[in-house]
A = this chain, B = another copy of it.
């Protein structure tokens, strides 16, 4: 029918327009077809081999971080994560050690040869933080803190940008555009679960966001299996799914003694759990990398 043809014309015109718009974004694959490789202290992120970022939720003490760092180092990994500034729902919850925490991370970084990923929550913290960390993390709650995005985009440090609690993929991509528009293209996107009605998990891991983000942008895409699930028993299966679907990296939380952790006690792995998690994942990876 004529109406049908009409409809199809509209659809393609609308799609064309949308495509045009997306083509304009600096992060879009239409603008730059080849993958962006993020360079972190000489390590390449997004080159086809998954990267792993482990570490405690929050920096609590030198000893705590060192215990995790030693375990990471022993696996031949090159990065550690740990929060010094902790965005917490209640002002009366542990808010992180702040600059003191960053100093601990810096010391750990030197001693164990690990690049440090740590969250920055406001532009004014950036200056002092830049000397202490290797990757600026921007957390879910700040994904649309546009002044922070612009400030991070004005540095020459890689940025790990987490998806907002209830951000659409389109909003997520535009948040990355705020960073790149200031000149910094060293951006890693991180899916960390979205807020839905389901209560069996802390958030709902939106696994299909990974291939969508890989198609729409040229940036590496990580999956945070800890925050997306909030359940220790789901870390391993979700990490497998993340790698199988093409994620460039996996993040998870490790604590020497999860039971006494000052935050996220229920979802962090102990070091023996971490060992088992990593070993099983390596077996899965080995087969996958060779044959798939």
* Residues of chain A at the chain B interface (Cβ within 8 Å): 3, 6-7, 10, 13-14, 17, 24, 87-92, 121-125, 141-142, 144-148, 150, 164-166, 168-171, 174, 177-178, 181, 194-201, 204-212, 215, 228-229, 233-234, 237-238, 240-246, 283-284, 286-288, 290-292
Tell whether, in the assembled complex, residue A170 and residue B200 are in contact, meaning their CB atoms are under 8 Å apart. yes
Tell whether, in the assembled complex, residue B200 and residue A197 are in contact, meaning their CB atoms are under 8 Å apart. no
* Nearest CB in chain B: distance from A224 CB, A: 13
* Nearest CB in chain B: distance from A102 CB, A: 16
Interface SS majority for chain A: helix
Cα-based distance from A246 to B200 in the complex (angstroms): 18
* Identical subunits present: 4
Tell whether, in the assembled complex, residue A165 and residue B166 are in contact, meaning their CB atoms are under 8 Å apart. yes
Chain B residues near A123: list those with CB within 8 A: 122, 124
Tell whether, in the assembled complex, residue A200 and residue B169 are in contact, meaning their CB atoms are under 8 Å apart. yes
Tell whether, in the assembled complex, residue B178 and residue A91 are in contact, meaning their CB atoms are under 8 Å apart. yes
Tell whether, in the assembled complex, residue A6 and residue B13 are in contact, meaning their CB atoms are under 8 Å apart. yes
Q: What are 27 A-B contacts defined by CB distance under 8 Å? A: A6-B13, A7-B17, A24-B92, A87-B144, A89-B171, A91-B146, A91-B150, A91-B174, A91-B177, A121-B145, A142-B145, A169-B198, A196-B196, A198-B206, A199-B199, A200-B212, A204-B208, A208-B228, A208-B237, A211-B238, A237-B245, A241-B245, A244-B288, A284-B292, A286-B291, A287-B287, A290-B291
Tell whether, in the assembled complex, residue A197 and residue B215 are in contact, meaning their CB atoms are under 8 Å apart. no
Top 3 A-B residue pairs of the complex, sorted by shortest distance between their CB atoms = A287-B291, A166-B166, A244-B244
Tell whether, in the assembled complex, residue A168 and residue B90 are in contact, meaning their CB atoms are under 8 Å apart. no
Cα-based distance from A164 to B177 in the complex (angstroms): 22
